[in-house]
Structure 1
């Protein structure tokens, strides 16, 4: 028997109405997961913050590279100016001829001269010192090298070199302990001084120098080396250091 339509108490459920609870549950799960991941922070803002930090780091790196580039460009310009100055000085020295060129030290010179060797006293096998001597008495000092160089200039040397480094008017011979500091380089003994000069004139200047006489006493007493050898040909190289004077500036 068919039930009259008027006796129905409800409608047949729609498929969409059945999906509503499922969608609600899924949305709730998504919100809960997002909340646990963010832990109270803004997830979208995190990406923006990381990008901003990356941009700042890149800007800082670019700024450092620009400063380095500026420093290198300055170094290149300084070297270029120094090279131009050297070329000009060499050209002027050549125009001046032998006297001016040799005096400036920018032209190599060869000729008869002397080679002088200075060295520390040899150590004794047992490490003991000679009677009455201090350790300081057994090494070559700045004053010893300078006294020899001064004697060579006084003898009229056309060119003088120490350890194959050409000396010019601004060269300074300095020693720290028994280490020689010359034009930015360090050397250990024996120290070799070469000069294109008249050997007889050198002998006379060495004999007449009070500083050399003091050094000669140490040579005789403690066994330091002081050899002066005449050579038919001595080669003194051109000066290859910087020509710009370095000086202290008040702070």
Structure 2
């Protein structure tokens, strides 16, 4: 009975009891739980600030290198653009020289003024004289889309932008009104020229043009201007201006200079009626 009584009275080993007492004593003397939580939060904030600081320092170190690469790229673009401009200038000079030599050769071989006129009408030679300057530009608030678009956004054609078909009608109207030579933004038009669209861009002979579109037409000055404005295509352009905000300005000019077309390729040819007739020669007997 004394053993059972001892087990009941001392159910927990004395060593466990002493360890529990020591833990309680250490807890009473140790750091409060709220303070430990605050210290942990502070340590986390310090670590986050350290990461941000290191990232900013790395970005500051890399910024000069990126700026240098950007400047080098801009300089390279400027150099290439300047080289392209020089080459284009050389091409224009060579084309002018070729035209002059061709005209001289035609005169020496008995060429007439008709050959000169054919060169002008075909766009193979540079031309200057009185004519009309017509500037066509997009509507003031036009864009790829949006509520500010004066034509709305219901379809591709209902926009405030000048389209390829608009420029086709303008050019055809000028030809019909008596223009002898036409160019758009310095691009000479010929009987083989094509005005097409690529997205929102207008292509003339596969060369993209940007607004405003400056159309130069050599012809009978003020008479050409009047005939064009009274034509169906001139009235169409006026309707675009009145209804959709397309901006236009037309004026008669005393002297316009139009460059020659970059290349005029003859795909087919046939002899004229005069040259096709057989020649008869008197024989000697």
TM-score scaled by structure 2? 0.49
- 1:116-153 deviation digits (Å, cap 9, x = unpaired): 1111111279x523676347330111222112211221
Q: Secondary structure at the match of 2:216?
A: strand
1:243 counterpart residue number:
265
Shift in alpha-carbon separation, 1:130–1:231, aligned structure 2, 3 A: same
Shift in alpha-carbon separation, 1:93–1:99, aligned structure 2, 3 A: farther
1:128 counterpart residue number:
147
Q: Distance in 2 between matches of 1:132 and 1:185?
A: 27
**CA-based RMSD:** 3.2
State the 1:115 CA deviation: 1.2
Matched ranges for 1:1-251 at <5 A? 90-91=102-103, 95-97=111-113, 98-123=116-141, 128-129=147-148, 133-134=152-153, 136-243=158-265, 245=267
Q: Distance in 2 between matches of 1:172 and 1:131?
A: 28
State the 1:228 CA deviation: 0.7
- 1:140-182 deviation digits (Å, cap 9, x = unpaired): 1122211221122123222111111111111111123431111
Q: Distance in 1 between matches of 2:102 and 2:189?
A: 15
**8 Å contact kept, 1:155–1:198:** no
Shift in alpha-carbon separation, 1:131–1:161, aligned structure 2, 3 A: closer
Structure 1: which 5+ runs fail to align?
A: 1-82, 247-251
- 1:92-114 deviation digits (Å, cap 9, x = unpaired): 88734342221121111111111
Q: Secondary structure at the match of 1:235?
A: strand
Count how many residue pairs are aligned between Structure 1 and Structure 2: 161
Q: Which has the higher contact order (CA 8 A, sep 6+)?
A: 1
Q: Distance in 2 between matches of 1:96 and 1:151?
A: 30
State the 1:245 CA deviation: 4.5
Shift in alpha-carbon separation, 1:90–1:103, aligned structure 2, 3 A: farther
**8 Å contact kept, 1:194–1:234:** yes
**8 Å contact kept, 2:123–2:190:** yes
1:75 counterpart residue number:
none
Shift in alpha-carbon separation, 1:96–1:238, aligned structure 2, 3 A: farther
Shift in alpha-carbon separation, 1:242–1:224, aligned structure 2, 3 A: same
